[in-house]
Homo-oligomer: A and B are copies of this chain.
């Protein structure tokens, strides 16, 4: 059985609680966050290789051309992306790599790395999501509407994901356990162990 880690993409609309759930996974030794590359300048206190890999615009585009970006996006004139070489380094070490990215990026990853495990985290319903966003009281009505509108483009892609995990109120611990079960199961999937029969008789 392969000891290679799994590349896990976790997407979810605003209010799905993906940050909290992923933070619970990262507490465990076998999970690490992917460090993205970006062309934007480091902000005070940010550390290269921890918050981001800070690279130049030319370097980023060179890496896109070389196929070294598992996914990337451009936002406010800057590139953000996941370097493939970095991801492979982590996976080879046997750790599971978590990519907290949006739907478009997830679709790019799926194409370039078909072994990736795609998980969509959802609030129990759109109604609950709306309540959560308004309940925060930190965003303008316009921003809330924008996020809710964006949700439609995200949730419609749920069938492209391998798993859908619902985050009920106060149950982010249960969500993290759901993801742990998914990872444990995936590591036992026969599709990930194509030499099972050969190895069985060889050992």
Contacts and interface: CB of A to CB of B under 8 A. Distances in A.
A161 B188 CA distance: 11
A67 interface: no
A1 B165 CA distance: 10
A52 to B, nearest CB: 31
A189 interface: yes
A197 interface: yes
Interface string A173-203: 0000010111011101110011011011101
Contacts of A184: 178, 181-182, 185
Contacts of A120: 190
Contacts of A163: 185, 188-190
A184 B161 CA distance: 17
Looking at A122, A162, A165, A197, the one whose CB has the most chain B CB atoms below 10 A away is A197
Contacts of A201: 125-126, 152, 155
A181 B199 CA distance: 24
Contact of A188 (B125, B165, B193, B200): B165
Given A155-B200, A156-B197, A189 B162 contact: yes
7 contacts: A122-B196, A125-B203, A127-B203, A156-B197, A158-B196, A159-B196, A185-B186
